[in-house]
Chains A and B, each alone.
Chain A
Amino acid sequence: MAVEPKDSPGVGVDEWVARSVERKEYMPGWRGDAQRALERVGWWPRLGLAAAVGVFIPLVIGLNSFQTQVGIDALLLAILALGLNVSVGWAGLLDLGYIAFYGFGAYGFALLSSNQLNPPNGIHWPAYFSIPLVMIGAAVLGLCVGWPSRRLIGDYLAIVTLFFGEAFVEFTNNVAPSKLGGPNGIFALDPLHGFHVQILTPTGYFYVLLALLVASMAVLHMLDTSRMGRAWRAVREDPLAASAMTIPVNRVKLMAFAIGAMIAAMAGAVFAAQQTSVFPTDFDTPYLILIYAGLILGGAGSLSGAVVGGLVVSIVLDGFLRSPNQSGYIFYGVILVTLLLKLRPWSRVAFVIVGTIVFGFIVHAIVGAIWPSATAGITGANNTWTDLHWAIVPANPVTFGNICFVALLCMVVVLAQVHHRWRTILLIPTLYLAACAWEARLSQVPAITRLLLLGAILIVVMAWRPAGLLGARRVEIV
Chain B
Amino acid sequence: MTKFIQELVNGLTQGGLYALVALGYSMVYGVLKLLNFAHGDIYMVGAFVGYFVLQWFGGPTALAVPVPFVILAMFLVAGGGMGALGVAIERFAYRPLRDAPRIAPLITALGVSFLLENTMLLLFGASFRDYNTSAFIPYSTEIRIGGVHIWIVQIMVIVLSVALMYGLQVLVTRTQLGRQMRAVATDREAAEMLGINVDYTISATFFLGSALAGIAGVMAGLAFNEIYTLMGFILGLKAFTAAVVGGIGSIPGAMLGGFLIGLAEAFITGYVSSTFTNLIVFGILIVFMIVRPTGLLGRVQLQKV
Partners in one complex: yes
Which A residues lie at the B interface, using CB under 8 A? Answer: 3-7, 88, 92, 94, 148-149, 151-152, 154-156, 158-160, 162-164, 166-167, 170-171, 174-175, 240, 285-286, 289, 292, 296, 402, 405-406, 409, 413, 416, 441-442, 445, 448-449, 451-452, 454-459, 462-463, 466
A-B contact pairs, 5 of them (CB 8 A): A163-B282, A413-B88, A448-B122, A452-B122, A462-B100
C-alpha spacing A175/B278, complex, angstroms: 12
B168 contacts partner chain A, Cβ-Cβ < 8 Å: no
Asked if residues B35 and A158 are in contact (CB atoms below 8 Å), the reply is: yes
Residues of B240-274 whose CB lies within 8 A of A: 240-241, 244
C-alpha spacing A454/B293, complex, angstroms: 31
C-alpha spacing A4/B101, complex, angstroms: 11
Asked if residues A170 and B93 are in contact (CB atoms below 8 Å), the reply is: no
- In this complex, what residue of B is CB-closest to A244? B305
User: Known contacts being A94-B103, A170-B278, A463-B97, is A458 close to B237, with CB within 8 Å?
Assistant: no
C-alpha spacing A441/B122, complex, angstroms: 9
Residues of B67-93 whose CB lies within 8 A of A: 88, 92-93
Asked if residues A409 and B119 are in contact (CB atoms below 8 Å), the reply is: yes
- In this complex, what residue of B is CB-closest to A7? B102
Contact of A452 among B115, B233, B285 (CB under 8 A): B115
Q: Which residues of B contact A166 (CB under 8 A)?
A: 234, 237, 278, 282
In the assembled complex, how far is the CB of residue A171 from the closest CB belonging to chain B, in whole angstroms? 6
Asked if residues B293 and A455 are in contact (CB atoms below 8 Å), the reply is: no
User: Known contacts being A7-B101, A92-B103, A402-B122, is A240 close to B303, with CB within 8 Å?
Assistant: yes
Contact of A3 among B107, B192, B233 (CB under 8 A): B192
Asked if residues B108 and A458 are in contact (CB atoms below 8 Å), the reply is: yes
Asked if residues A463 and B103 are in contact (CB atoms below 8 Å), the reply is: no
In the assembled complex, how far is the CB of residue A14 from the closest CB belonging to chain B, in whole angstroms? 15
B286 contacts partner chain A, Cβ-Cβ < 8 Å: yes
Contact of B293 among A151, A296, A406, A462 (CB under 8 A): A151
Contact of A416 among B92, B106, B117, B293 (CB under 8 A): B92
Asked if residues A154 and B102 are in contact (CB atoms below 8 Å), the reply is: yes
Q: Which residues of A contact B276 (CB under 8 A)?
A: 174
Asked if residues A152 and B289 are in contact (CB atoms below 8 Å), the reply is: yes
- In this complex, what residue of A is CB-closest to B234? A166
Asked if residues A451 and B118 are in contact (CB atoms below 8 Å), the reply is: yes
Asked if residues A174 and B286 are in contact (CB atoms below 8 Å), the reply is: no
Which 10 A-B pairs rank lowest in CB-CB distance, beginning with the nearest?
A: A458-B111, A455-B114, A455-B115, A155-B35, A459-B111, A451-B118, A148-B290, A167-B282, A462-B108, A455-B111
Asked if residues A3 and B99 are in contact (CB atoms below 8 Å), the reply is: yes
Q: Which residues of A contact B241 (CB under 8 A)?
A: 159, 163
User: Known contacts being A152-B293, A159-B240, A167-B283, is A292 close to B115, with CB within 8 Å?
Assistant: no
The winner among B35, B92, B102, B111 for most chain A CB atoms within 10 A is B111
Q: A159-B244, A406-B123, A413-B92 are in contact. List 17 more A-B contacts (CB 8 A).
A: A3-B189, A4-B99, A154-B102, A163-B237, A164-B286, A289-B114, A406-B119, A442-B122, A445-B122, A448-B121, A448-B122, A449-B122, A455-B113, A455-B116, A455-B118, A462-B104, A463-B96
Q: Which residues of A contact B188 (CB under 8 A)?
A: 3
Interface of A: prevailing SS: helix
C-alpha spacing A462/B92, complex, angstroms: 12
Q: Which residues of B contact A455 (CB under 8 A)?
A: 111-118
User: Known contacts being A158-B35, A459-B111, is A170 close to B282, with CB within 8 Å?
Assistant: yes
Asked if residues B114 and A451 are in contact (CB atoms below 8 Å), the reply is: yes
B279 contacts partner chain A, Cβ-Cβ < 8 Å: yes
C-alpha spacing A430/B99, complex, angstroms: 29
In the assembled complex, how far is the CB of residue A339 from the closest CB belonging to chain B, in whole angstroms? 21
Asked if residues B115 and A459 are in contact (CB atoms below 8 Å), the reply is: yes
The winner among A155, A289, A449 for most chain B CB atoms within 10 A is A155
Contact of A458 among B99, B110, B192, B283 (CB under 8 A): B110
Asked if residues A5 and B115 are in contact (CB atoms below 8 Å), the reply is: no
Q: Which residues of A contact B176 (CB under 8 A)?
A: none
The winner among B101, B114, B189, B192 for most chain A CB atoms within 10 A is B114
User: Known contacts being A163-B286, A170-B278, A170-B282, is A5 close to B189, with CB within 8 Å?
Assistant: yes
Q: Which residues of B contact A162 (CB under 8 A)?
A: 237
Q: Which residues of A contact B293 (CB under 8 A)?
A: 151-152, 156
- In this complex, what residue of B is CB-closest to A451? B118
C-alpha spacing A240/B302, complex, angstroms: 12
Asked if residues A6 and B189 are in contact (CB atoms below 8 Å), the reply is: no
In the assembled complex, how far is the CB of residue B95 from the closest CB belonging to chain A, in whole angstroms? 10
- In this complex, what residue of B is CB-closest to A4? B99
B275 contacts partner chain A, Cβ-Cβ < 8 Å: yes
- In this complex, what residue of A is CB-closest to B116? A455
Asked if residues B305 and A240 are in contact (CB atoms below 8 Å), the reply is: yes
- In this complex, what residue of B is CB-closest to A164? B286
- In this complex, what residue of A is CB-closest to B285? A163
Contact of A462 among B111, B123, B282 (CB under 8 A): B111
Interface string of B165-188 (1 = CB under 8 A from A): 000000000000000000000001
C-alpha spacing A289/B233, complex, angstroms: 13
Asked if residues A160 and B97 are in contact (CB atoms below 8 Å), the reply is: no
Asked if residues A159 and B289 are in contact (CB atoms below 8 Å), the reply is: yes
- In this complex, what residue of A is CB-closest to B275? A174
User: Known contacts being A151-B293, A451-B118, is A156 close to B244, with CB within 8 Å?
Assistant: yes
Q: Which residues of A contact B116 (CB under 8 A)?
A: 455
In the assembled complex, how far is the CB of residue B203 from the closest CB belonging to chain A, in whole angstroms? 15
In the assembled complex, how far is the CB of residue B52 from the closest CB belonging to chain A, in whole angstroms? 13
Q: Which residues of B contact A458 (CB under 8 A)?
A: 107-108, 110-111, 114
C-alpha spacing A452/B118, complex, angstroms: 6
Asked if residues B279 and A174 are in contact (CB atoms below 8 Å), the reply is: yes
Q: Which residues of A contact B283 (CB under 8 A)?
A: 167
Q: Which residues of A contact B285 (CB under 8 A)?
A: 163
Q: Which residues of A contact B105 (CB under 8 A)?
A: 462
- In this complex, what residue of A is CB-closest to B193? A3
Asked if residues B192 and A160 are in contact (CB atoms below 8 Å), the reply is: no
C-alpha spacing A391/B212, complex, angstroms: 41
In the assembled complex, how far is the CB of residue B226 from the closest CB belonging to chain A, in whole angstroms? 20
Interface string of B17-37 (1 = CB under 8 A from A): 000000000000100011100
Q: Which residues of B contact A402 (CB under 8 A)?
A: 122-123
Q: Which residues of B contact A88 (CB under 8 A)?
A: 103
Asked if residues B100 and A6 are in contact (CB atoms below 8 Å), the reply is: yes
C-alpha spacing A95/B122, complex, angstroms: 29
C-alpha spacing A225/B34, complex, angstroms: 32
C-alpha spacing A462/B109, complex, angstroms: 10
- In this complex, what residue of A is CB-closest to B35? A155
Asked if residues A6 and B279 are in contact (CB atoms below 8 Å), the reply is: no
In the assembled complex, how far is the CB of residue A125 from the closest CB belonging to chain B, in whole angstroms? 29
Q: Which residues of A contact B303 (CB under 8 A)?
A: 240
C-alpha spacing A449/B119, complex, angstroms: 9
In the assembled complex, how far is the CB of residue B9 from the closest CB belonging to chain A, in whole angstroms? 26
C-alpha spacing A158/B278, complex, angstroms: 18
Q: Which residues of A contact B107 (CB under 8 A)?
A: 94, 292, 296, 458, 462
The winner among A156, A164, A286 for most chain B CB atoms within 10 A is A156
